[in-house]
Structure 1
């Protein structure tokens, strides 16, 4: 008997006495095979230990049952929780997932999308804070549907799943203003990114205006998404006499908080902080960080479900999905 690990489609066809086309139809789920023949083919596949080649199946069915995920940092807790939602739903619909890490470099993002397209993935989920012109051009050239997860398309052309960042930041600003703060800093990523300029900044300004406070550009700050960047930036925030900050990233928020402690400030009595991603970093520190609550797993899961519909040419009623956010009030705000 043929060893299981070397069994081929030819062995299966020979064992049953049918054509290669018949075996291929069974493997690819084609219903145009008699039930008795199908049963014999499946039995032979099991006995011989035949494992259909995914590439060959893709050539026959024009599907590879593989999707690509482009993410800025596979170690970042925010993106890893989104990826978990993607992977669980992908597994439910029998898709394999290819993860690519880009370090949020547009050149690497473009290369990643092209590489995934060359592997004939059935669809792509893109995660990241910005879509530059070249990345958008590359996405448009791909012969596969692309869905954004936790990523903003300024023109709202691509299917996407997000929260309402404008409303979330506005509510955060109003929360600390209601706690008596008159100088509230906003910390974001690069302001040229749509998610910062068109969403977080707009929400911040709206929150100030709704509460009779003037916008002060000296209270705007940009930071990379890591602890050290937050700690270094905190010195500048401290110099403005700000007494509260709305921060775009949990590690950055931790850096700011620890700097304040090192200056003898009490958090939250002297300085309040609201972060945005609500990862495990926000929970394990003391005091725990008050945060905008994003349904990260759900963002990934809904994006993947949308992608399955697009890959199957199903109707998608809402291409711009906005999921509800919450607020997790913890130890870095008074109430």
Structure 2
């Protein structure tokens, strides 16, 4: 037999209204009474009717998390950071994977609105105007993770992706590399990943080194891109002495392709990755890479979103967290 709110009130010796105030975390209930109600809820195993409660409070205590690629090793760690904070504040999470498909992203945003989520953590493969317009049209409280929209309308948690690849490229230059290739995402794509090319471009410009178009390859962040990118770049008459990769997966694909062509890493070509996923530390050679604080990105973003939901002031609208160059064995 199901337990009702009336049963909880009777067990705790309080009114139904008092139980409702405790369930909705309304501050007027004193701590002693609140404890009685919570003890009764635990003893009876009462679970509130979320649908009925949400119709009354306009809250579902549910947050949507939209990620672009569940197979990438960085997103589970971001989600873990977000979910740990959500659990502290008794929010449930709905996880959506868009498969790097903008149409799927738009559909998921509409579904999350229909599910009456209180807010959304949004990691996107594209932050085109149509996505930002849709978020505003649906009136979804949203915090961006990893990316920032062009106008800075939506709160965000990121690192400085351009500065990160600038630092990576400069590290290679300081080590004596002169012909540095890049494998990643085109700079005119509207997401964080495209900024990684901009950092590479700026570092070469500051070193008065011209970019060799034959040393560039753009596609996805997957391992396959690294492998295909190296095969493309090796067709150039002037072989590079280093490669900056926009992800660790790309870097691993690149190393494998170089190895297949009897090119030693790092003796012949240095390779540097991005993200510092776990595999980067056990791959051979262990990858030099850029680390971003992915767990912190998720946890900070969730705290921001919960403040937004509860109409509290956000101290900082756009958090830019620190990145770090992790030096290992893949660079000469």
SS in 1 for 2:211: coil
Q: Give secondary structure in 2 for the equivalent of 1:194.
A: coil
Gaps of 5+ in 1: none
Report what 1:159 is aligned to: 155
| Alignment-derived partner of residue 82 in structure 1 | 78
The answer for the alignment partner of 2:308 in structure 1 is 310
Aligned counterpart, 1:8: 4
Taking structure 2 as the reference length, the TM-score comes to 0.91
Give how far 1:54 is off.
2.3
Distance in 1 between residues matched to 2:102 and 2:227, nearest whole Å: 27
Of stretches 252-261 and 173-182 in structure 1, the one that deviates more from structure 2 is 173-182
Contact 1:106 1:134 in 2 (8 A): no
With over 3 angstroms needed to count, the CA separation of the structure-2 counterparts of 1:243 and 1:53, relative to structure 1, is: same
C-alpha RMSD over aligned residues: 2.2
- Which residue in the other structure is 2:178 paired with? 182
Aligned partners of 2:70 and 2:290: how far apart in 1? 22
- What does the per-residue CA deviation read over 1:225-262, in whole Å, with 9 as the maximum and x for residues that have no partner? 32223212211122221221111111111111011111
- Secondary structure (helix, strand or coil) at the match of 1:298 reads helix
* Cα pair 1:165 1:199 within 8 Å, conserved: yes
Uncovered stretches (5+) of structure 2, i.e. residues with no partner: none
Instruction: Measure the CA separation in 1 of the matches of 2:72 and 2:193.
Output: 23
Secondary structure of 2:234 counterpart: helix
- CA distance in 1: counterparts of 2:83 and 2:281, whole angstroms: 24
Aligned to 2:278: 280
Q: Give the superposition deviation at 1:323.
A: 0.5
Does structure 2 conserve the Cα–Cα contact (< 8 Å) formed by 1:173 and 1:207?
yes
Q: What is the correspondence of 1:1-335 to structure 2 with a 5 Å cutoff?
A: 3=1, 6-13=2-9, 20-32=16-28, 41-195=37-191, 199-240=195-236, 241-334=239-332
Deviations, residues 54-109 of structure 1 (Å, cap 9, x unaligned):
22222232222111100012232111111111111111222111101110111110
User: What's the CA shift for 1:174?
Assistant: 1.2
| Residue 37 to residue 80, structure 1, CA distance change in 2 (3 Å) | closer
* SS of match in other structure, 2:330: coil
* CA deviation map 1:261-320 (0-9, x unaligned): 111111011001111111012111111110011111111111111112211222223211
- Contact 1:223–1:230 (CA<8 Å) still a contact in 2? no
Change (3 A) 1:286 1:24: same
- State the distance in 1 between where 2:244 and 2:177 align: 12
Closer, same or farther: CA 103–197 of 1 in aligned 2, 3 Å: closer
